[in-house]
Amino acid sequence: MAGRLVKAGLVIRFHAVTLFPEMFAAVTASGISGRALEAGLWSLGLWNPRDFTSDNYRTVDDRPYGGGPGMVMLAEPLDKALDAARQAGGGKVIYLSPQGRKLDHAMVMELAGTTAMTFLCGRYEGVDERLIGRRVDEELSIGDYVLSGGELAAMAVIDAVVRQIPGALGGEQSALEESFVDGLLDCPQYTRPEVWPQDGAGGKVPAQVPSTLLSGHHENIRRWRLQQALGRTWLRRPDLLAARKLNDDERKLLEDFQRQRGESGK
Ligand code: 9WO
């Protein structure tokens, strides 16, 4: 089919400055991101600061001024690696660190609207502050915890952004149907068998698939799912619910959920 050869103009060129380029196989070789890479929807340039050193030992780190444990990444090799990424059309430089702005769905969508970005991946105890001050455009965190380096955080961002590129999700699947697009958590999902486990023992969840999902009544199913999404968001992430307007119908569905939960005595 001729249409298969025509693809939307949206291609994102990622770059990563990293001492561990081989780690990025996790997003290039598998799954949705791997398939989207093969489809030409994104590319990844990997730049190892060790390849931009000039001493015999290929030194990329040194001891912190002021003393203390561990090592700090040298500015010079990172600066040269970032120059190389920039010459390849690197876009904004993003440093992944726990000190950064916390990533959310809105920021993922903003990044997905750009054509290029370069992730600076720190290791050890961090990167010389002068390099950050001179070369970094944005500092991003994926959550309040410390990793061993920025690579896993960069890959989390790549994965989240790539799934927003039109065509990255196969078939009828659409990023528009995902959690957070609507400001709510996802509803529960079920597949075969209709009863599991057979003896129904244990668990805080019934063994039987909710009857509405088996009814074939599409409007009722849609409303059940919306109600579950509202109820779960209320229970687990009241902060998200507070940030979202509810229409009359949604408010009734949520009140109904809250009533039913009160009756079952939790
Ligand atoms: C390591 C360390 C060891 C002893 C005392 C203090 C220390 N701080 C650090 C540290 O923060 N290392 C970072 C490792 C340096 C920057 C790259 N690293 C990193 C990035 N860890 N966690 C992230 C990260 C990035 C984005 N979102 C969450 C975590």
Task: Please give the chain's pLDDT, 266 residues, in tens.
Answer: 444 555 556 899 999 999 999 999 999 999 999 999 999 999 999 999 999 999 999 999 999 999 999 999 999 999 999 999 999 999 999 999 999 999 999 999 999 999 999 999 999 999 999 999 999 999 999 999 999 999 999 999 999 999 999 999 986 567 877 778 899 999 999 999 999 999 998 989 999 999 999 999 999 999 999 999 999 999 999 999 999 999 999 999 999 999 999 997 54
* Last residue within a domain, chosen from 162, 195, 212: 162
Number of independent structural domains in the chain: 2
For residue 98, the surrounding DSSP H or E stretch is strand 92-102
Domain containing 197 equals 183-264
177 domain-assigned: no
Mutate to test the pocket of ligand 1, among 63, 96, 151 (most ligand atoms within 8 A of CB): 96
Same domain for 152 and 188? Answer: no
Centre of ligand 1 to C-alpha 148, Å, is 6
Summary count for the chain: helices (H), strands (E) = 10, 7
* Last residue within a domain, chosen from 162, 193, 214: 162
Same domain for 148 and 188? Answer: no
203 domain-assigned: yes
* Last residue within a domain, chosen from 162, 192, 213: 162
Same domain for 83 and 139? Answer: yes
170 domain-assigned: no
Of 140, 106, 138, nearest in space to 240 by CA: 106
Is the CB of residue 230 below 6 angstroms from any atom belonging to ligand 1?
Answer: no
Of 12, 44, 4, 38, nearest in space to 115 by CA: 12
Gap between the Cα atoms of 219 and 33, Å rounded: 33
What are 252's two structure tokens?
């009734």
Distances (CA, A) of 169 to 172, 176, 178: 8, 11, 11
Same domain for 143 and 196? Answer: no
Centre of ligand 1 to C-alpha 261, Å, is 42
| 205: CATH | 1.10.1270.20
Same domain for 36 and 134? Answer: yes
- Do residues 119 and 150 lie in contact, with contact meaning Cβ atoms separated by under 8 Å? yes
Gap between the Cα atoms of 244 and 256, Å rounded: 18
Centre of ligand 1 to C-alpha 123, Å, is 7
What predicted TM-score, i.e. pTM, was given to this entire model? 0.95
